[in-house]
Amino acid sequence: MLDAAAAFGTEAARLAVPAPPSIRLAYAPLIGVLAARVARRLATRAVPVDVELWPAGWSSATASLAAGEVPAAILSAPFPPGFTTTARFQVTVGHLAVPAGDPLATVARIRPENLSRHRILLPRNRPPGSMWARLAERLRGRYRELTDDIDDFAAVLDLVSAGAGLLPAPHLLVDTIRRHDIRFVPLDGAGLRLMYGLSWSPERTSAELMTLVQTVHEVLRTR
């Protein structure tokens, strides 16, 4: 009886402590390390904020923003209209992912103009002036369109290994992925960069959202 009473008292005390504020953050899989740093920093603030991280592609993230299912998302350009986008940053795309057995795997570096005999994997969604649009012009039609957007670069490496095509690889992918069947060859003079930013609705602001925005800026300044 005493043990049951003690257990009841402990549970009641736990329930009496208010849960920390929370927020849901959608993010592109490529920048998962950044999203994790944001979550860790929010968890250690004077007033902790619990972050539910949700990896999502561009289409899913923008649809969830519009539906109010997530208050904020870190995604790639083009940024959704009607939302505030802050904390913009660039990710350099300076390598080409090739199968380990491909002749290109042994070259020191390669220029995009020298890829005319190779098929490059690109997204269908290539707004004018975007990195993907500029690269497509330099490739002169030698590319294969995958889906509307390339969000999960790591997953596309499976297609590279299978011989479906070669993939322009951001440095975040090169720094974190190690596969025996893939080689990353430096792209010379490509000047390619992906733009990312934090998009959120000014109509759904909250203390947690403003703290999230501030924290993303802080993490970017110290990365």
Give the pLDDT score at 12: 47
Weakly modelled stretches of the chain, pLDDT under 50: 12-17
Map out the domains of the chain with their CATH numbers.
17-88+196-222 (3.40.190.10), 89-194 (3.40.190.10)
State the pLDDT at residue 181.
Answer: 97
Whole-number pLDDT of residue 43: 95
What does the pLDDT read at residue 172? 92
CA 137, 138, 139, 140 dihedral sign is positive
| Amino acid present at 35 | A
Whether the CB-CB separation of 21 and 49 falls below 8 Å is answered with yes
pLDDT tens digits, 74-101? 999 989 999 999 999 999 999 999 999 9
Question: DSSP code of 78?
Answer: S
Whether 30 and 170 have beta carbons less than 8 Å apart is answered as: yes
Query: What is the pLDDT, as a whole number, of residue 5?
Result: 52
The pLDDT of residue 10 is: 56
pTM summary value: 0.84
pLDDT at 92: 94
pLDDT at residue number 121: 93
- What integer pLDDT is reported at residue 14 of this predicted model? 47
Tell me, what DSSP letter sits at residue 166?
B
